Amino acid sequence: MAVMVGQRVRELREGMSLSLRDLAARSGVSAPMLSQVERGETSPTLTVAERIAGGLDLSLSQLLRLDEAPPVAIVRASERRAEQRDGHRRSLLTPDVPGQRVSVSEHELAAGARIGSADRLHGPGSREVLVVRGGAIRLHLAGAAFDLQGGDTATFDSDLDHRIENPGDGPAAFTSVVTAALRGA
């Protein structure tokens, strides 16, 4: 277990572009101790693990859950969580579990329908990629509007106030990929 936790700590630290010294400053755990944990030479106490998790902007349960996660998560088409309201249909393609770092969903908007940041809030530092599969959508972001057609993509900071609407006469379809940040706000 120590090796698995250590590998995960190293992956997360490197994913945040942090040196051992950076993580030591953020967590209050010495760089030599962090190095021993990453190499699997020692298992951190719960207190130390909690401080490391905090330095990585995670809760202790998130850090430990990462170690327990299976190597693959499959969501069968028949098991997808879907919801529909006000001309908007959303189908979640990824598992809906705590600590998930990415969420992929398919959306269909009826003509004139719209969704906004009030409908779905994203955490600080989140990024979103929209891939328009058909029709046309208009992305409103930070006071600007962007018209997108089938095949277009947009990548943006999804923790900003935003909304998506279908200005066309027919349905529009898009895929949304939202990634949670490894950094705090």
Chain region(s) in the chain for CATH 2.60.120.10:
77-179
Amino acid letter, 96: D
How many residues belong to the chain? 185
Quickly tell me which residue has 């057609």 as its tokens. 149
User: What's the token pair of residue 36?
Assistant: 């021993």
How much is the pTM? 0.62
| Cβ atoms 106, 162 nearer than 8 A | no
Cα–Cα distances (Å) from 100 to 3, 104, 143, in that order, read: 22, 11, 30
pLDDT of 68 above 70: no
Phi, psi torsion values for 24, nearest 5 degrees: -60, -45
| Cβ atoms 92, 52 nearer than 8 A | no
Mean pLDDT of 103-114: 95
User: What's the token pair of residue 168?
Assistant: 């066309």
| pLDDT for the residue 119 | 47
Q: Is the dihedral of CA 105, 9, 6, 45 positive or negative?
A: negative
For residue range 22-62, list pLDDT tens digits in order. 999 999 999 999 999 999 898 889 899 999 999 998 888 77
The single-letter DSSP state of residue 160 is S
pLDDT of 70 above 70: no
| pLDDT for the residue 184 | 42
Chain region(s) in the chain for CATH 1.10.260.40:
2-68
**Greater pLDDT, 16 or 3:** 16
| Cβ atoms 95, 73 nearer than 8 A | yes
pLDDT of 10 above 80: yes
Return all residues near 77 (Cβ < 8 A) that are at least 6 apart.
Answer: none
CATH class of 2-68: mainly alpha
CATH code that applies to domain 77-179: 2.60.120.10
Quickly tell me which residue has 């130390």 as its tokens. 48
